[in-house]
Amino acid sequence: MSNIMPYSRQLIEDDDIQAVLKVLKSDYLTQGPEIAAFEKELAEYTGARYAVLFSSGTAALHGAYFAAGLKAGEEVITTPNTFAATANAALYLGGRPVFADIELKTGNINLDLIEEKITTKTKILTVVDYSGYPVDMDRARDIAKKYGLVLVEDACHSLGAYYKSKKIGTLADMTILSFHPVKSITTGEGGAVLTDNEEYYHKLLLFRQHGISKENFINEAHGTWYYEMQLLGYNYRMSDIQAALGRSQLKKLDRFIARRREIISFYQEFFSDNEYFDFTVEEEGYFSSWHLFPIRLKEHLITKKRKIFEALRAQGLWVQVHYIPVYWLPFYQSLGYPKGICPNAEKFYESEISIPVYQAMTLEDARKVASILLEVLQNV
């Protein structure tokens, strides 16, 4: 692994290890005080009223769609340029994902195309901050309000980002976070839902713990041991071990984002006049967390993408592609989704490669990546 530079990876430091060891030596490995403490600190950092931790970003999406009241046959409008979980979580509840095409310049959902997708069955609009670059949340919120939709922001890439000077976390009805190791901070596996809505908050708490409540009972309590299962929930709890790691990592988030942005600034300057690919540049009012640095090969190189990709990996750059359009995946094909419904997303996939950017990188590392990339492109 020492000779390989992945597209992203975690940075675990000594204080993170000590935080985890402290919990391992404590009385609580799960359902203990670290959970509430991490939730409080997440809410304070983002400005959200409530934060609810989950065992993964996928579980958090499932919980959010449940809290929104998604029923079988109802629709969730979202982007195909995302990890499958964004759409899968609708299927878990019997809902139907409806895909709207993207903007090529950002990889984000094209908000101009949302209204034509809305039907009487539409319940949720889920936008995704692709690569950490925020969606135009004012516009997304206006659309959701106009049609009475629940607005979910899949911010699994964008913790630490800003939209019009506001931190990601309070701009939607519910905001989803992921703490997978490739993200800006990690708990190993883990996720969260941020919300200002008290009703959603209580539903999320029940949903992640089997639907079981130990307070606010429907029936008369039998004693202090009493609990009630009030809805069909799941065991989607995060452990205190993970939460302790998350708390330690959260203290470093701004530093981690600053390093990622330093790497991106170098890339953008280095590649400014290149003839091989395009990349996203922040517009006024947008502050990306730069979870990814996606390059988009120019037309004359698209047919050579596989050769380029393999050549980069052979040089130790563990690049990746984000994403195969969700509806191209075999399972979605079996559900009857045709190819061709989002031509920009398909073109984006055919041209996109994510090159390394992560908080442990140095500018020397970035220079090495840039030099290898240009060398490969010149020789392909």
Is 280 in a helix, a strand, or coil? coil
Mean pLDDT for 299-306 is 98
The CA distances from residue 143 to 79, 126, 127, 185, 315, in Å, are 15, 12, 12, 31, 46
Calculate what percentage of the chain has a pLDDT beyond 70: 99
The CA distances from residue 201 to 208, 266, 333, in Å, are 11, 41, 35
Considering the domain delimited by 14-248, tell me its CATH architecture.
3-Layer(aba) Sandwich (3.40)
Phi-psi region of 318 (alpha: psi -120 to 50; beta: other; left: phi over 0): beta
Q: What CATH homologous superfamily does 252-379 map to?
A: Aspartate Aminotransferase, domain 1 (3.90.1150.10)
Q: Is 183 annotated in the active site? A: yes
Chain region(s) in the chain for CATH 3.90.1150.10:
252-379
> What does the pLDDT look like over 40-77, one tens digit per residue?
999 999 999 999 999 999 999 999 999 999 999 999 99
> What does the pLDDT look like over 100-136, one tens digit per residue?
999 999 999 999 999 999 999 999 999 999 999 999 9
Residue whose entry in the numeric block shows the structure tokens 């200002």: 196
Question: Rounded distance, CA 186 to CA 212, Å?
Answer: 28
Query: Could you say which of 164, 183, 252, 307 is catalytic?
Result: 183
Radius of gyration of the chain (CA): 21
Question: Rounded distance, CA 176 to CA 167, Å?
Answer: 13
pLDDT at position 2 is: 61
Chain region(s) in the chain for CATH 3.40.640.10:
14-248
Calculate what percentage of the chain has a pLDDT beyond 90: 97
Question: Rounded distance, CA 70 to CA 52, Å?
Answer: 19
Is the predicted pLDDT of residue 1 greater than 60, yes or no? no
Q: What is the pTM of this model?
A: 0.97
> What does the pLDDT look like over 236-249, one tens digit per residue?
999 999 999 999 99
CA 308 to chain centre: 27
Question: Rounded distance, CA 188 to CA 113, Å?
Answer: 36
For residue 108, with 0-12 CB atoms within 10 Å meaning exposed, 13-18 middle and 19 or more buried, which class applies? buried
> What does the pLDDT look like over 135-159, one tens digit per residue?
999 999 999 999 999 999 999 999 9
